[in-house]
Structure 1
Amino acid sequence: MQKYIKIPIFFISLLPILIIFYQIIFNQLGPEPVKEITHVTGNWTLRFIIITLAMTPLQKFTKLNFWISYRRMFGLFVFFYASAHMMTYVGIDYRFDWSSISDDIIKKKFIFAGFLAWLLLVPLALTSSKRMIRLLRDKWKKLHKLIYIISLLGIIHYLWLVKVVTVEPLIYLIIIVILLTLRVKMKFN
């Protein structure tokens, strides 16, 4: 049964990027298309981080194990949207001008936080297969706890980007802090 649910969830998770492609094709991204794509992919990265972090508390509260079977797929969507977010910046906005990109990483703290979050996502994506889980055993769990640091770096990236605190990044911050607090409480109970 879960196998049949995963397929629609997978395609629903692709909808944001499909909408972006639709908007590109029909020129509906507004006056600043690169900024819009960057914003949408960044927001979906944070949303998928939240969804991924929510799987364990949902499993604990509902006593239903099926939540955990979706966690890996949602985690890979975190990497997918984070990579789309970064490639928009690197490839479309800066056109692979590595000198300017390096300057940004060094001089702009919000770029540094976002780049670091993406770098930490790479080993998680590379070790997400069942084979790697078996191969790494206990080390796999320790490695995948990086998602906690990544989630905080992601929200810091957003907060430093907007400079003036607005409602949207605060909502993400509150949800992430609640989810991380729940995980800490579950660990000690």
Structure 2
Amino acid sequence: MRYSIWRVGVFIAALVWPLLWLYEAWSFALGPDPGKVLVDRLGLGVLILLLITLSMTPLQKLSGWAGWIAVRRQLGLWCFAYVVLHLAAYCVFILGLDWSQLGVELSKRPYIIVGALGFLGLLALAVTSNRYSRRRLGVRWKKLHRLVYVILGLGLLHMLWIVRADLKEWVIYASIGALLLIIRVPPVMRRIPRLTAKKTSSATKA
């Protein structure tokens, strides 16, 4: 099977991080409030994986290597897996499975609603990521999966609301996200293969 080693490598890399964070939380290696740190890390992991997933198409166009696209669906599903873990960690470590506190949390931290909308968006994409859904939905499938750009915006807004005091890290992720969106503008996207061809031609002549 083509790219099987590459696929397995991506799978292992995506699996290792949450397992490591869970172990560190269990062994109290994440400081005095390991639950909160675990929730934050899983949430950041969702955003990073989402950015990596969105970078697969530009990388394929720039390099001409189809392996990037071969793991795009897997990375998207890992985004959903991480957001499920993020939500589960929040329910266990922040709410303490006390659902009566959810209303209080929502009133104090409205960014939770933004995060919940992002979760629902990723759920819709994960459920329809299979070939059957693609055939069934036809042209509507692409329209539905453009929801990923809205989800990215929600994820960045969710993070911005949380880290208002220190925006340095947020600006990095927002800049990468903005670049990935600009690249997808049709005139820019059409120029990428031309630029790649020019570089290859120049390298051959040299």
TM above 0.5, yes or no, is yes
CA distance 1:123–1:108, change in 2 (3 Å): same
In structure 2, give the amino acid aligned to 1:16: W
For 2:53 and 2:189, the matched residues in 1 are separated by: 21
Provide the residue aligned with 1:59 in structure 2: 60
- Deviation, 1:106, is 5.2
Aligned to 1:4: 5
Task: Tell me the alpha carbon deviations over residues 1-37 of structure 1, each in whole angstroms, 9 at most, x when there is no partner.
Answer: 3122101210111111110122134331211111110
Q: After superposition, what is the alpha-carbon deviation per residue over 1:19-71, rounded to whole angstroms, capped at 9, x for unaligned? A: 01221343312111111101110111111001000011111111222211111
Q: C-alpha offsets along residues 120-168 of structure 1, whole Å, 9 cap, x if unaligned?
A: 1111111112222222221111111111000011011000111224211
Superposed CA RMSD: 1.8
Number of the residue aligned with 1:157: 158
Q: Unaligned stretches of 5+ in structure 2?
A: 191-206
| Structure 2 residue aligned with 1:146 | 147
Amino acid at match of 1:34: G
Gap change, CA 1:188 and 1:17, over 3 Å in 2: closer
1:187 offset after TM fit, Å? Answer: 7.0
Residue equivalent to 2:204: none
With normalisation by structure 2, the TM-score equals: 0.84
Q: Which residue of 2 aligns with 1:71?
A: 72
Q: Is the 2:83–2:119 Cα contact (8 Å) retained in structure 1?
A: yes
Amino acid in the other structure paired with 1:100 = Q
* CA–CA distance in structure 2, aligned partners of residues 186 and 49 of structure 1: 23
AA partner of residue 15 (structure 1):
V
Larger mean Cα displacement after TM superposition, 103-112 or 84-93: 103-112
Q: More deviation in 81-90 or 68-77? A: 81-90
Gaps of 5+ in 1: none
Alignment of 1:15-164 (within 5 A): 15-105=16-106, 108-164=109-165
CA deviation after TM superposition for structure 1 residue 188, in Å: 6.5
TM-score (norm 1): 0.91
Question: 1: CA distance between counterparts of 2:91 and 2:157?
Answer: 20
Equivalent-residue separation in structure 2 for 1:113 and 1:186 (angstroms): 31
The question of whether the paired residues in 2 share the 8 Å contact of 1:55 and 1:67 is answered with yes
Larger radius of gyration: 2
Q: CA deviation at 1:105?
A: 3.4
AA aligned to 2:24 is Q
Is the contact between residue 105 and residue 115 of structure 1 (CA under 8 Å) also seen in structure 2?
Answer: no
Describe the shift of the 1:186–1:101 C-alpha distance in structure 2 as closer, same or farther (beyond 3 A).
farther
